[in-house]
Amino acid sequence: MTEGLPGALSLTLPSDLSLVRPFRKMFEGLLAGQGWDDESVEDAALVATEVVQNAIEHGSRNDGSERVEVRIDLVRGACVLEVKDPGTGKGPQSLLSRDVSVPPDMESPRGRGLYLIHRMSVAFDRLPSGAGCCVRVRLQVSEA
């Protein structure tokens, strides 16, 4: 645990895409405040944004009526981000069954988020959680 922080920071976000950007800014500030370099902050924030946006856009009705649970654990040079969705969107199988190690079709206008998360995270887990899913990623400071 980093000195001065609780063991974890837990947030509950309404399932509204307009909250993704403020979440990203808060997350960037949190990591920068822990001494993460700019490149590591940007990379981690990109992954965190994808995870939260996917939970809202695909794991909920995306109308603000539901909640997405976010937990951030900071340890020396690393961050574990856990995001749980309510499962009322596409349903958990669309997330759990996807092969994230295969690059998406370059002609497709969408579908790069899970591949990006997989490639940019030290660890990436997708688990059932109630009616929805829990995505857990481990991010860390880039080595110079």
Could you tell me whether strands 132-140 and 78-84 are parallel, antiparallel, or unpaired per DSSP bridges? antiparallel
Q: Establish if 1 belongs to a structural domain.
A: no
| Structural domain containing residue 64 | 9-140
Could you tell me whether strands 123-129 and 132-140 are parallel, antiparallel, or unpaired per DSSP bridges? antiparallel
Name the CA radius of gyration of the chain, rounded. 15
Q: Establish if 45 belongs to a structural domain.
A: yes
Q: Establish if 29 belongs to a structural domain.
A: yes
Ranges 38-42, 102-106, 127-131: which has the least confidence: 102-106
Q: Is the pLDDT of residue 76 over 90?
A: no
The mean predicted confidence, pLDDT, of the chain is 90
Give per-residue pLDDT as tens, 7-64.
689 999 999 999 999 999 999 999 999 899 999 999 999 999 999 999 999 999 999 9
Q: How many domains does the chain have?
A: 1
Residue 86's CATH number: 3.30.565.10
Q: Establish if 4 belongs to a structural domain.
A: no
